Every structure is written in structure tokens, then in C-alpha cells.
Amino acid sequence: MYYIAAVNKPVEQVAIRGILPAEGSCAVFLGNEKKTFVIYVDAGIGAAIGMFLNGTVKDRPLTHDLFALMLAAFGARVERVVINQLKGSTYYGRLIIAAENEIQQRKIVELDARPSDCLAMAAQQPAPIYVSKEVWDEVEDMSDVLRGIEEERQKEGND
């Protein structure tokens, strides 16, 4: 277990383990060897996350590319993201940005952000993804569901 100073809460480090289209949205599976859970995001952001993970070259910068270019222009980068709260079925996230340039010393900025944007930026940079222990303990383990989907895809690929 890690502790993130910027949010001062115990956290679990996770990774994006899968992305699946869902009705009108995208299911993003986040997890580690202990547990996997799902966050549903807008289909467009789900597609962007997939492109970043796959290293897809784009003709023009997407919104998250533009944001990353702006950060770089100011000597900043996404240091990490934290999914820090769950209210009902709504997740909340924090985008932790580190800036260091010739004008000022290292500065950490913590921004409130949609988890979908946090995940896209983490996939684009790449940057580590954390989930607060509070959220981690509340979410349902979907590891078996993801494993079943992966097995089904393998079967379809072998046919």
C-alpha cells in the first residue's frame, strides 16, 4: 500500500487492464493482481484512452494531446492520477501535475478532474494511476468478468 502526499490518503496502485465498448459508453477495467473494477466513461474518451494505450498515431492532436502539449510548454507533466472518491455511482478524480522550469522550482498542482480525463492523461503521458483505499474497499471485484471476456476473445480469435 502506498500513501500519496497530495491527497494524504492510503491508495492502491492500479493499471488500465481493459477497455470495452458498452451501450453509449465505454467500460474501463482498472485493477491490479488483487482486484479489478469498472469505471464507465464517455465513448469518445474511451476511444482516446485506447489510442493512447495502443500508441495510435493521429493526424491532428486530440484534446488530451493538446493539454499535454500545453503542460510541456510550461515545463509541466502529469505526475500521477488518483481516483479519490465514489459518491453513488459517480467517481471523482485528482490530476497531480508537477512543474519544474528555469523560472521556478518544482511545484506540485492538484486539480479536480473527471476520472475519465485523468485516465486518458495517465495513458497519454504515461503516469501512474492510484485509487484511494476508501474507494478500493467499496468497489466490486470484476476480475472474473474481465477474465471471462478475455477468454471469450481468445476463443473467437482461434475460430
The CATH number given to whatever domain includes residue 6 is 3.10.690.10
Please tell me whether residue 125 adopts helix, strand or coil conformation: coil
Three-state DSSP at 140 gives coil
Percent of the chain exceeding pLDDT 90 equals 70
Residue 15: predicted pLDDT: 97
State the residue range of the domain holding 32. 2-158
Decide if pLDDT at 3 tops 80: no
Q: 33-47, 49-63, 99-113, 114-128: which range is least confident on average? A: 99-113
Asked if 36 and 30 count as a contact pair (C-beta separation under 8 A), the reply is yes
Helices (H) and strands (E) in the chain, counts: 5, 8
Average pLDDT, the chain: 90
Q: What is the pTM of this model?
A: 0.87
Distance (Å, whole) CA 146 – CA 121:
23
* pLDDT tens digits for range 117-130: 999 999 999 999 99
Question: What DSSP designation does 24 have?
Answer: T
Q: What cell does 145 get?
A: 468478468
- DSSP SS3 for 21: strand
What is the count of structural domains for the chain? 1
